[in-house]
Structure 1
């Protein structure tokens, strides 16, 4: 009896074969990994060069070994086969291949794995001279660089005149939330604390989901909760909101109340950091800023 060839019906073939877009993505993934593997030498990763290498760069089995994955699995990944990859494994491969942040993000997209902008990165705490120059160019308007935990990373001269207070944070980096929740009420620059502080805590809570378990974040939340029952209560509420633009009212003992519109601007290369610029919302507030700068007063109420 002759052999029988079974041919899948069109609908069945469609269900088992990847879509054209997915096929193209897998092809691009294979080419991307081969290209990046070829540019990393054994010396780059602390391995002896060996003899008679037929191709430049690392071998597949070397990438697999250094990444802590199986040779067959990595071979299939580089061949563009439809296999699943976790963020942790992709990070390991990215480290071996020395991918920078844009390349790592590209790897995630090609492998169809959700990419968190700051996944696997440390908190950024250094502001470049170019960013500081932008802050300074915004004078006479106050401007500051915050990270998503409200650490103050850089300021301009007007911000320091309007908002700076004696250091109260038990850490190396000044933090606005810590200051606002622990400073005496009569010295707090925010007029409507009942409205503004819950918004700020909810914005930080929205970023916290990407940092759960990180020592710096867990320590900050724990210490501020111990220092401020008010913060602890707001934190337990679990409210989450994204950063946004709105009018805030501040007070300063030299010029009175100022109504300022805050605008947040993202910064390329600084994940989760933003420039926040404040512009006067009315003529009286504009004159108050001018007076503050002319007199150079830097005391809070």
Structure 2
């Protein structure tokens, strides 16, 4: 249940964006700017009464599907749509379906290629979606591994990761705790559930650590590696999230 302040913010937001829209058919002078509530309701396939109650801040139930139709009728941007669902305390069904599975945004790919130190991008499943030459040279067996480029599978299942990372078990546990923070946003995602189930079945450490329920922010810090050609390496890891696609991450390793 939404508190009164949250309902008021939701109503103000919907009304403001309704008043910015142009009517479908030209007509004479109007008493109010933008669309009438009845016109918005018709566009969204919802009742005019429900629309009025939302704008008035009444305690009404708004399903994710109805909010999605309302967002499309209001011609909301991605950020505006996200804000609408956050105000209504609902999960956007579109963000779980196709959008998050898209390829990495161009801004992320360009940033990865623009820097000289190792850099790579992760999608919401923690698959590497882009990387530069320095990252591919550092992470042998992962970024040069063909189709399978999941960071969790690399760390927990690949012997090359154990050789590369001196404090392998500690780092593996930390990465899993960081992933779990993201997992909480995708609890109903069947693909995510299947990925976790497979890792629990294939890795004893993953299964044990998953059961410990650890959760951490991806804060970065010093990272040490023992490269088969370059020897001991130390980096300071930084992780960034694109403002327009928060289901992706940019990971940058600066020499330390």
Give the TM-score normalised by structure 1: 0.68
Query: Secondary structure, in 3 states, of the residue corresponding to 1:249?
Result: strand
Does the 8 A contact of 1:152 with 1:173 survive in 2?
A: no
Counterparts in 2 of 1:76 and 1:86: CA distance versus 1, 3 Å:
closer
Gaps of 5+ in 1: 1-17, 42-48, 282-301
- What is the Cα deviation at residue 189 of structure 1? 1.9
Residue of structure 2 equivalent to 1:29: 14
Relative to structure 2, which stretch is displaced further, 189-198 or 160-169? 160-169
- TM-score (norm. length: structure 2): 0.79
- Over 3 Å counting, the alpha-carbon distance change for 1:226 and 1:25 in structure 2 is closer
**Which residue does the alignment assign to 1:72?**
49
Unaligned runs of 5+ in 2: none
Larger Rg: 1
Q: Which residue of 2 aligns with 1:223?
A: 198
Counterpart-to-counterpart distance in 2, 1:177 and 1:218: 14
Aligned length, in residue pairs: 247
Structure 1 residues 234 and 187: CA distance shift in structure 2, 3 A: closer
Select which of 230, 233, 250 maps to 1:275.
250
Q: Does residue 1:265 correspond to 2:250, yes or no?
A: no
Partner of 1:145: 121
Is 2:136 the counterpart of 1:160? yes
Pick from 68, 71, 85 the counterpart of residue 91 of structure 1: 68
* 1:44-70 deviation digits (Å, cap 9, x = unpaired): xxxxx9xx9998998745754675644
Secondary structure at 1:35's aligned position in 2?
A: coil
Structure 1 residue aligned with 2:77? 100
Q: Is the 8 A contact 1:263 1:276 kept in 2?
A: yes
The answer to which of 124-133 and 93-102 deviates more is: 124-133
CA RMSD of aligned residues (A): 3.5
Judged with a 3 Å threshold, the aligned counterparts in structure 2 of structure 1 residues 189 and 84 are, in CA distance, closer, same or farther, namely farther
> 1:171-186, aligned counterparts within 5 Å?
172=147, 174-184=149-159
Q: 1:115 to 1:191 in 2, by over 3 A?
A: farther
| 1:237 aligns to 2:212 (yes or no) | yes
Instruction: Indicate conservation of the 8 Å contact 2:154/2:161, yes or no.
Output: no
* Residues 1:75 and 1:181: Cα distance change in structure 2 (over 3 Å): same
